Structure 1
Amino acid sequence: MTKEKTRNKSLFNRFLDVVERAGNKLPHPIVLFGLFALGVVVISGLLHAMGVSAEGELINSKTGEVEHTIVTIKSLFNTSGIVYMMTNAVKNFTGFAPLGTVLVAMLGVGVAEQSGWISSLLRKTVEITPAALITPVVVFLGCMSNVAGDAGYVVLIPIGALMFMAYGRHPMAGLAAAFAGVSGGFSANLLVGTLDPLLSGITNEAIRIVDANYTVQPTGNWFFMCASTFVITILGTIITDKIVEPRLGKFEGGTDTAGFTSSSMSQEESKALKTANIVLVVMVVGMIALLIPQSSFLRNPETGSLVDGSPFMDSIIILIALYFFVPAVVYGRKAGTFKDHRDVCGSMSKSMASMSTYISLVFVSSQFINYFKYTNIGTIIALKGANFFGASGIGPIPLIILFVIFSAFANLFMGSASAKWTILAPVFIPMFMLLGFSPELTQVAYRIGDSCTNVITPLMSQFATIIIFAKRYDDNAGIGTLVATMLPYSLIFLIGWTILLALWMAFGLPLGPGVSLML
């Protein structure tokens, strides 16, 4: 890069370049996560020897009761720690939730890519969708995808990159836009998703400390999260188009460019696309017909819910794989890309072969994440921070803004939204209730902070997955590349979302149906 180009860059872009260069000078992600795991072993030994601990009110995951608990560091730098690491290595790997999710979804998505169905579908999308709408559509779909849990990570993010490439834009910008919506805007949605009943259940346990009669419903944050969806979509679009993509420059091509050199389709491809899409519509209509009856076997047998604890949500990944696989096979047969079942099986094998680096990375990263959880380091950081704010004497409005920032900071060390809330809810819910704030307000403040830093923390379980997706378009992509690309989203989402909350409070708007800001 010339000195003139460097001078023309903004200070913020130069800062991002420094972050990227520094991050990419680190070892290969597999080695880096191995060093992270080793660091946890050593640090846990030191903290254990120092007698580091924290205490506070925690929700017992088995009984659901709020209990006063003293949490101590569990050392991995001793014989019991070594036994844990040796006996749990395979369990940590096979029990790592994103592993099965990614591989099963990729069986369907991989076949869809290699059949040519996705390529034709995207080229048709280019023909009918204005280019100006592609960024907001990708970010918006990312936000909406979290209603299906982690499905957006393994389906929408790689497709977001392909969609941008179909429009002649940089695929890394499409990947970033989708990742920002899926993960940075994780709590934002127009629908009540899987996270809502999970967090409200934890909140209700914390409420019992001061009021046994108050109950938070899963819809308690619905109005605010609906508005958040549009705010995140607007911010994500601006960041992608004005900051991220200009910084990436022109895409020079890569392994996934085949099929996007021309927007025209042959007559055979057009017929195959029409047939495959009809099959997809029939499958969707059939599924809706199965879901409508209140007695459907796909609903929760006790509550009738389609979201909370339903067979439908529990099987969403295999359903998504089938909804890619079946139309893709139909397309491949009609278009001639699949001659027989051997071609279909071959495409499945190629799809799994492309995930070999990911599988290796998951083995190491799963050890690191589970070591961090086992040692209680993240739990103690969260507890000590919560205790500090509780005793600070800061006024209520500045305190809730600081709580958003603290939640974002804690998310860097503890990826699970429910695990962090189990620690923070018993401290902050009673505290803010005594200050007159509703539990729903505290919960929504937590959700803002918890979402914004998802895109920059290696402790987020899908972080390794996104690095592998990025390597499709940049062989040198590493943690530095991803963090530098996603940092603008994290910072601006945090600021913009917090401003939205402040305005919401200033106008006294309801957070959900019948839910006030104040008690």
Structure 2
Amino acid sequence: MNPAARLLNTVERIGNRLPDPVFLFLWLVGGLILLSMIGAALGWSAVNPVTGDRLAAQSLLSPENLERLIIGMPRTLADFPPLGIVVTIIYGASVAERAGLFATAIRGALLNAPRAILTPIVVVTGMVSHHASDASYVVVIPLAAVIFAAAGRHPLAGLAAGFAAVSGGYAGNLFPGASDALILGITEPAAHLIDPSYSVNIAGNWFFIIGVVLVFTPIVWFLTDRVIEPRLGPWAPSADAAAPAASEKQPLTADEKRGLAWAGLALMGMIALWALITLLPGSPFVDPAAEPEQRFNPLYRSLVAFFAVTFFLTGAAYGAGSRSIQSHRDLVRMMRDGIAQLAPYIVLAFFAAHFVAMFNWSGLGPILAVNAAAELKSLALPAPLLLICVVFVSCFFDLFIGSASAKWSALAPIVVPMFMLLGISPEMTTAAYRMGDSVTNIATPLMSYFPLILTFAQRWDPRFGLGSLMATMLPYAGAFLVAGLIMVAAWVTLDLPLGPGVGVYYEPPAPAVAAQEPAAGGLAGPHTPPQPAAVPSPTAPSR
């Protein structure tokens, strides 16, 4: 057995032995309780260089923390930021999905794609389809294979391009959506460990995710047309291959076209309404007393409501036009079914919320962040190299834990405060994490949708096995990793904006301790970011 095969077998064995993410969080909570007791007993502490406050480790079994845990358990869950955001958006998105808007719009975009630019249209459609959540896996990927076959191209090349876009390009999109709300919603409470006033909005990575689309699309286009499809060879349909469903090849019906037209009118109406509210004197979406770059923060925070209402209205308009919705009872049923599909996430959110809250109560997050930031600062590594480390850590964990929110809930309380103390904004750290979280999904059999994609492939070639799918997707994963590392490094080096009013560097509000001159060879960039004050030696042992 060659080394590559042994490595894959080892990863598969380790991954299969891991418990459900819920129990991973239970283990983390148990370890956190033990660590908090040790830290409190040994007097671990540090000084927050932003506020000047002394940070001390607190035992999670202290009377105060036990009261927080037991009596405040319902409040801990209710205060978990991602939960409210995701549930709010799902109310609208479930109507749009179940009415058929997402599937029809995706189908219409792919069916009308010219053959010469078929691949990039599949890729962009796949990345935008992230708004449909997991529906993109069961709609875009098999449909991409159908469209390639209809155009006389190898259907497995279309399937590979769709899989690369939907899963490998998970960090990319043209507009913020539920995934942004989920991930950035976890970022905000992690940032509060250092700066309780820090606010993260759903548009915090908007420009970055557009950049991912612009960078990854030509990569998938080149690999699909010049590497993957030639490697697959001429397509000869097997007599044993299952024929794709006829409905997948059918053009849009008159009802579906009418539904899309009505949905488009509803979308334009919502955009016009939000623009009108923003431009009106005394608009709640504008804060005239804030700094110029922060004045539109209320507008950005309103995007959660905007997407929820927009998905609801466009879905309802499509349903009325296409006749897939017959009465208001259908709307209520769709919202109810959408929330029911969230049940696994709500179960996970309960344990993730308590882990995040208990991490905060213990005080270990800021202490670890201050100590780690002091060590990293002493190494004088440039900011791009620091964030590249985040990409690699995210890639590694992605081999074993498929849930992006589960991984980020565990990592954010450590890496977000640590990088804030090094002058890196929470949004930039989040962007680096999201890049790493995307690239390895398509090449690991531990990814939850990998068996489903293999089933889709075997409809066209029954001999196409697990190894065949992995070999097909590895070129995409390798190219995405290299491009992602370059993109993160370039974003920091050029100090590009991550979203409206959001930059690469973090500027602490009114430091309590006077900042010292930055050390030579500190954070690299086109300008010198604000440096945190020197961190005094902690009383905890060096770790």
Q: Does TM, normalized by the shorter one, top 0.5? A: yes
Partners of 2:390 and 2:429 within 8 A in 1: yes
CA contact (8 A) 2:36 2:59 kept: yes
Give the percent of matched residue pairs that are identical in Structure 1 and Structure 2.
18
The whole-number CA distance in structure 2 between the counterparts of 1:472 and 1:281 is 39
Match of 1:375 in 2: 362
**Residue 321 (structure 2) aligns with:** 334
2:262/2:317 contact within 8 Å kept: yes
Correspondence for 1:81 among 56, 65, 69: 65
Give the counterpart letter for 1:517 in structure 2: P
Q: Is 1:110 equivalent to 2:110 in the alignment? A: no
Output the amino acid matched with 2:431.
S
- How far residue 326 of structure 1 moved from its aligned partner, in angstroms, is 1.4
What is the aligned partner in structure 2 of residue 101 from structure 1?
85
Instruction: Identify which of 397, 401, 404 aligns with 2:387.
Output: 404
Separation (CA, whole Å) in 2 of partners of 1:410 and 1:88: 33
Partner in structure 2 of residue 500 of structure 1: 490
Letter in 2 for 1:104: T
Cα 1:157–1:469 change in 2 (3 A) is: farther
Helix, strand or coil at the partner of 1:300: coil
The residue that corresponds to 2:75 in the other structure is 91
Does 2:340 align with 1:350?
A: no
Distance (Å, rounded) in 1 between the aligned partners of 2:297 and 2:309 = 19
CA 1:373/1:418 → structure 2, altered by over 3 Å: closer, same or farther? closer
1:402–1:240 distance in 2 versus 1, CA, 3 Å: same
User: By how many angstroms is 1:131 displaced?
Assistant: 3.1
Equivalent residues of 1:300, 1:308 under 8 A apart: yes
When residues 504 and 301 of structure 1 are mapped into structure 2, their CA distance, relative to the original with a 3 A threshold, is closer
- Aligned residues of 1:111 and 1:348 also touching (Cα < 8 A): yes
Q: Is contact 1:158-1:469 (8 Å) kept?
A: no
Which residue of structure 2 aligns with residue 434 of structure 1? none
1:122 corresponds to 2:114:
no
The alignment status of 1:287 with 2:274, answered yes or no, reads yes
Offset, 1:320: 0.9
Q: What amino acid maps onto 2:251 in structure 1? A: S
Q: Is the 8 A contact 2:493 2:526 kept in 1?
A: no
Cα 1:330/1:181, change in 2 over 3 Å: closer
Match of 2:171 in 1: 180
Q: How does 1:398-477 map to 2 (within 5 A)?
A: 398-405=381-388, 424-425=419-420, 428=422, 443=424, 449-454=429-434
Cα deviation, residue 340, structure 1 = 1.3
1:281 to partner: Cα distance? 2.1
SS for the counterpart of 1:453 is helix
Evaluate the alpha carbon distance shift between residue 36 and residue 266 of structure 1 in structure 2; reply closer, same or farther with a 3 A threshold.
Answer: same
2:171 is matched by which residue type in structure 1? A
Aligned to 1:253: none
| Alpha-carbon separation, structure 1, partners of 2:100 and 2:408 | 41
Are 2:13 and 1:47 aligned? Answer: no
Cα deviation per residue 1:200-225 (whole Å; 9 max; x = unaligned)?
x99xx9xxxxxxxxxxxx9xxx9x99
Give the distance between the partners of 1:468 and 1:294, measured in 2 at CA.
50
Q: Please say if residues 71 and 376 of structure 1, whose CA atoms lie closer than 8 Å, have aligned partners that are also in contact.
A: yes
CA pair 43-425 structure 1, distance change in 2 beyond 3 A: closer
What does 1:133-152 align with in structure 2 at a 5 Å threshold?
133-134=120-121, 137=124
1:181–1:232 CA contact under 8 A, matched in 2: yes
TM-score (norm 1): 0.63
Compared with structure 1, are the counterparts of its residues 381 and 420 closer, same or farther at alpha carbon in structure 2 (3 Å cutoff)? same
SS at match of 1:74: coil
Classify the secondary structure of the residue corresponding to 2:58. Answer: coil
Q: What is the aligned partner in structure 2 of residue 437 from structure 1?
A: none
What secondary structure does 1:179 align onto?
Answer: coil
AA paired with 2:18?
L
Counterpart residue number, 2:303: 316
Deviations along 1:166-193, one digit per CA (max 9) or x if unpaired, are 423377644424532369x99xx9xxxx
Q: Once the 2 structures are TM-superposed, how far is the Cα of residue 93 of structure 1 from its aligned partner? A: 0.8
The Cα of 1:127 is off from its aligned counterpart by 2.8
Partner of 1:59: 50
Distance 1:273 1:410, change over 3 A: closer
Partner of 1:30: 22
Residue 71 of structure 1 aligns to a residue whose secondary structure is strand
The Cα offsets for residues 213-259 of structure 1, whole Å up to 9 and x where unpaired, read as: xxxxx9xxx9x99699546742576479969x98xx9xxxxxxx999
Contact 2:436/2:481 (<8 A) preserved = no
CA apart distance, 1:409: 8.2
1:370, distance to aligned residue in structure 2 (A): 1.8
1:78 shift after superposition = 4.1
AA partner of residue 266 (structure 2): V
How does the TM-score come out when normalised to structure 2? 0.60
Counterpart amino acid of residue 234 in structure 1: V
What displacement does 1:407 show? Answer: 6.1
Unaligned runs of 5+ in 1: 61-66, 143-151, 206-217, 250-256, 430-442, 458-466, 476-483, 506-510
Corresponding residue of 2:144:
167
Cα deviation digits, residues 1-43 of structure 1 (max 9, x gap): xx7xxx6xx93x8746644542342122222222222221222
Whether the aligned pair in 2 keeps the contact of 1:58 and 1:422 (CA below 8 Å) is: no
Residue identity in the other structure for 1:370 = A
- Alpha-carbon distance change, 401 to 28 in structure 1, aligned in 2, over 3 angstroms: closer
Give the conservation status (yes or no) of the 8 Å contact 1:101–1:317: yes
Q: RMSD value over aligned CA atoms?
A: 5.1
Rounded Cα–Cα distance in structure 1 between residues aligned with 2:108 and 2:18: 41
Indicate if the aligned counterparts of 2:259 and 2:321 stay in contact, CA closer than 8 A. yes
Aligned partner of residue 376 in structure 2, secondary structure: helix
Which residue number in structure 2 is paired with residue 365 of structure 1?
Answer: 352
d(CA) in 2 for partners of 1:240, 1:380: 46
